[in-house]
Structure 1
Amino acid sequence: MEIKQNSAEASGLTQDNEEKLDYERRVAGIEKQIRILDQEIRKLELIEKLAKEKEEKENSSAQGEKEDTDRKTKKTSRRKFIKQGTRLVVGMMLGAEIIGDNKNMRKVPAPPTEKKSPEKTLEEEIEDCRKIIKNEKFEEILKNPRLVSALYYSQQAIENMAPPHESRTQKVIWSLHSLITKEFRDNYIQYLKNLVKEQISHRYWLNLHVQSLPLDKISFGKDIEENHQDAIDLFIEEGSPIRSMSGGIVVLAENGWKKDDKLSTSSAFGGNTIIIFSPYDESFYRYAHMEEAKVGAGTVLSRGEQIGTVGHTGINASKKGHGRHLHLEINKYDRKNEKIVPCSVVDLKNKLETLLKRIKR
């Protein structure tokens, strides 16, 4: 069965729906740029605070009192000018984007994906992760894709990785999972929520429940349960844009998959993969087999933002005739039962069909 977002049965959307989606994407882009500028303002405010503390120490020495005062006035004026100028740019940018319907949004380059040095062994990585867990260094988690994966997978998925392991990567993830306590997972999720809150407006936070489709066209194939029970394959041409279904923070973004290197990514089968955490319902969205990830770990984004392109990376997807699709998973944290629960393939299909109906109205 194939469902298309398209009144002409080819593009997947009517002209009105396309305009609606385009408007939503432009708004999402504006919000992203505002968040980036807000971060720069906060950096300037921090610099101003540190400079003020330094100047107070200098003044306490009673040397060059008048010069210190003049210098303070000059620095404060300069910082004030920069911050006011930044806010002015935000206002001008908002006006230009809303009024100029025919103008393209200015793209903000995605941060590069951090690469691990090749000489670092998995044994060292396991030990590093143990220290992160023991000392609760949450700021270090997003730098370690295999620890992120251990926190992402459901109990059933972890059990499927039990010895004998199919790969050394599975050994790492399986070993780390047993070290993760409920308290550590709760604090990790709260840490992610705080990161998002620090970078978004209150209005944006209230709209986190709104979702959008990951692709411009949705095709489920003939038998959705043939390949996966807790994931769904969405068929589309390679190179097609992949967009975030929800607002949130990128916790994993990998671009370095190599066919002859099972350690090149945290999942040899997933290939180039992105995982996004949604603070609204504490769910993790996983997009796999990507040709390219266009955002980096730690990026806070809005629903509808492009995160990558469809490809055929991963052991199975790279085989002849197995590409041309996006592998989608959603895992939700069940606080009551203290475990990660995967969304079934049937529920995934129903969710996507509901989004299709909403857009077609």
Structure 2
Amino acid sequence: MPASASTDVRPPPLRSELSVNDLAAVGDDLFAVGMKGAPAPARVAHTKGGTPWLVVAYSSSDGAVHTQLAGVHAIAGDDVWAVGWRGLFQSHTEHTHITHGDGASWHPVESPDFGDGSHLSGVAAWGPDDALAVGARSSHSLPAGGPVGLSPVALWEALGVLWDGARWSAVPGPGRGTLHDVCAVGPGSYWAVGSRVHPERAGNVPLVALYTGGAWQQVGAAGVGPLFDVAATGPDDVWAVGQDQDPGHAGGALVLHHDGRDWEQVETGVTGQAWLSGVACARRDDVWAVGTRQREDGAFGPLILHFDGTAWAAVEPPATAAPQGLSAVAALPGGGAWAAGGFSATGETGFTILPAATTPGGP
């Protein structure tokens, strides 16, 4: 969906133990979804025009079921979708969950039932009657593993659900693997990314699929390792990010680009252990990616990259960046971005304003 006009407002610090999973910005509204702990209700945070944050606990029912929201997309300030699951994730009890925000409150919306072991990770919309959410289903109870809790993807089946303005309906998935995120590139046209098992050896490779014309088309993509997020300015300018797990070198940031014909891996200049969890596009020459990298002292901290239309460059993390790393980013059409991550020992979420004019640097 074309980017909405946005004012360059700065939200106040979000002093709440909220680990942010995803962000959505539209106009001067900014939404964050995440969690405080598990098992616990999900958290939804909202600020408009720089007003104080409103943080609400969200649960799918009045019972003690755990609810988690992993993805959010705002069509307008009063038309927001968030997706995730209810039940304990990777316990073979979770089910897909969808909720809608109307600007005043959040209401569960019926989601297709894929049975136990199913979840939704990302959602995108082209308009009020055109949205797609993606995730995966497994019939096995699986241990968590990897930097963001990935399970062995050989046991997962990718899934999708489509919104037509009246209801969410299941659509056949693109095959084995798990889908983490999705972006819209036209009416009824979406790119989704995740990971699948390498066909010839141990390890994972990117799962990249295009949903258009009512069907999925899985395509080949360069790189080794999972993809966690995807964003686009149009059908010929799509970015996906994740973790490079090529056994030939130390794991690092993985960035792929689609030019309308092929998906190709792009160099970032980042070395050492790192991964990218979020990407957002304002324009073709203004793209942000955020994640986590290992510092020289061995500890992990935030990683911020910016693309100026020619090359990617590291940006020095602001002092307000989450010390544990950044998980999500939302670009502003006027330049700059918002980014967020986990909460710190002081109880303040790692929310930060990324500058409109970047200065390459940092570790």
Indicate the TM-score class for this superposition, using the shorter chain for normalisation: under 0.3
Flag the structure with more relative contact order, 1 or 2, with Cα contacts below 8 A and sequence separation at least 6: 1
Q: TM-score, normalised by structure 1?
A: 0.24
Which structure dedicates a bigger proportion of its chain to strand?
Answer: 2
Alignment TM-score, normalising by the size of structure 2: 0.24
Higher gyration radius (CA): 1
